[in-house]
Structure 1
């Protein structure tokens, strides 16, 4: 069962939480695809800090080479990639997953991705891209809301009732298209269906013209390690084709990834 943010917080012992580190990371997280260059005031607002605190953190990050400054705006410098690379390079499961995604994408001629759940979102940890079908830029490290993505619903389907209660009470649900399901009751029904059948379909809920199908990667204990999806354009692949033609390939791949990861952890 995935550990939630609350679980992690409960594990903290008094005096061990370093608030300044938390705030410094919040400054880094303020930057995104949509906010790649920010003023001091914008960083402070997004990170939830005073301007004075945000300025101190930004100047420290600039001195360390993680942040740059030009035309009265701050931006992330390439050195910040070292933080993400440390995770990718130390995770043999990511390497195994990427290898299988490359092979799956080559066989079916479509884009494939692997995602993990983190704080209400899914985070892309590996991707093999074919033709570009989505206007949303997808790459390793990109975050999207879990509730309206095929991989997100797969991972949410493993949550306990208490975890789902906390999830729905904590994270907002924005409509991205007319197809996006935001109603809690309907989402719970969809998650129950995913839990029963073992896979999930997203039909234009995140972006019009794109649909996907996802399944979990489980380790030897049955715990979901991540979820893998296949993304296709609606103009070329129907929902029926996704299920009849692509689902068997997807399930075969996720089983192979799970077996390889389990073997790595036992060796």
Structure 2
């Protein structure tokens, strides 16, 4: 990105911090210079300034790691972070592209608690609204968050007596749920076809935080005729939305690799 008021020194400092963050206590000045293409004289001044500001720390062997000032800034950022506020900001972008309903939900034991909803032009009413709970095994937004559990943990969450069929297509046993969850792990997204309500389909993606943990899920919901036309575009956009929300939450990894 090159704009009218762009400050190259800040861009270089950002690249330095990112590189040190990827390889803490491994790189010396000469290594950073080679990797970023910054001449040693300029780099010396940048590193010295960052060290004085405590954004980086010079370790034994003249290598560098991130400093405590960045930790303080991170704490301040996460103190102000509001996932619901971020959802409404970013979901409007996704709705404008796909024009279908989007929901945000968090896993609470074996249920999804719905937190937010952004509607497209469809007049169809969803079976869930903000504040409602719904079985995680019967929803894409629930199943994508269940990818963090192994089969034994799923069995603890869902005793056989807890599988209540919402439609003829609803999962009703641990083996099928585990198979669905494994497919979601492999793909990086979860799909639900008429399991929560007849005629409705969902695709969901996970939201990660700075600790690489899944903290929520987002999903598109639409009727069968729209699903056949939009499922590929909806799948791509829900992954994009989840990635944007994950970045707000401090996640810096690759979501596809993380879920695998």
Q: Same fold (TM over 0.5)?
A: yes
Shift of 1:220: 2.6
- Secondary structure of 1:114's partner? strand
Are 1:125 and 2:110 matched, yes or no? Answer: no
Distance change in 2, residues 1:145/1:91 (3 Å)? farther
Q: Of 208, 211, 217, which aligns to 2:207?
A: 217
Q: Which residue of 1 aligns with 2:4?
A: none
Show the counterpart of 2:221.
Answer: 231
Instruction: Kindly indicate whether the alpha-carbon contact (under 8 Å) linking 1:134 and 1:207 is maintained by their aligned counterparts in 2.
Output: no
Residue 246 (structure 1) aligned to one of 195, 210, 234: 234
Q: Which runs of 5+ in 1 are unaligned?
A: 1-89
Alignment partner for residue 95 of structure 1, among 80, 85, 108?
85
Taking structure 2 as the reference length, the TM-score comes to: 0.61
Structure 2 segments unaligned to the other structure (5+ residues): 1-79, 252-260
Is residue 119 of structure 2 the alignment partner of residue 156 of structure 1? Answer: no
SS in 1 for 2:175: helix
Deviation at 1:151, TM superposition (A): 0.5
- Partner residue in 1 for 2:193: 203
Separation in 2 of the partners of 1:110 and 1:187?
Answer: 26
Displacement, 1:171?
Answer: 6.5
SS at match of 1:235: helix
User: 1:150–1:135: structure 2 CA closer, same or farther, 3 Å change rule?
Assistant: closer
Backbone CA RMSD of aligned residues: 2.0
Question: Which portions of structure 1, spanning 4 or more consecutive aligned residues, are displaced by more than 6 angstroms?
Answer: none
Task: Report how far residue 100 of structure 1 moved.
Answer: 1.1
- Given candidates 161, 165, 175, the residue that maps to 2:165 is 175
* Aligned-partner Cα distance in 1 for 2:133–2:223: 21
Cα distance in 2, alignment partners of residues 193 and 237 from structure 1? 19
Report the equivalent of 2:249: 261
Q: How far off its partner does 1:183 sit?
A: 2.1
Give distance in 2, aligned partners of 1:212 and 1:155.
Answer: 14
Q: Aligned partners of 2:161, 2:124: CA distance in 1, in Å?
A: 28
Matched positions, count: 171
- Taking the aligned partners of 2:97 and 2:198, their CA distance within structure 1 comes to 25
- The verdict on how the C-alpha distance between 1:97 and 1:169 changes in structure 2, with shifts beyond 3 A counting, is same
The whole-number CA distance in structure 1 between the counterparts of 2:88 and 2:217 is 12
Cα contact 1:112–1:128 (8 A) shared by 2: yes
Question: 1:230: how far off?
Answer: 0.4
User: Which protein is bigger by CA-based radius of gyration?
Assistant: 2
Which residue does 2:95 correspond to in 1?
105
Q: CA deviation at 1:106?
A: 2.1
The answer to whether the 8 Å contact 1:120/1:171 transfers is no
Tell me the SS of whatever aligns to 2:201: strand
Indicate how the Cα distance of structure 1 residues 236 and 128 shifts in structure 2: closer, same or farther if over 3 A, else same. Answer: same
Q: How far apart, CA to CA, are the structure 2 residues paired with 1:235 and 1:197?
A: 23
Whole-Å Cα distance in 2 between the matches of residues 232 and 132 of structure 1? 11
Once the two structures are superposed, residues 25-53 of structure 1 have per-residue CA deviations (whole angstroms, 9 ceiling, x without a partner) of xxxxxxxxxxxxxxxxxxxxxxxxxxxxx
Of the three residues 124, 127, 141, the one matched with 2:131 is 141
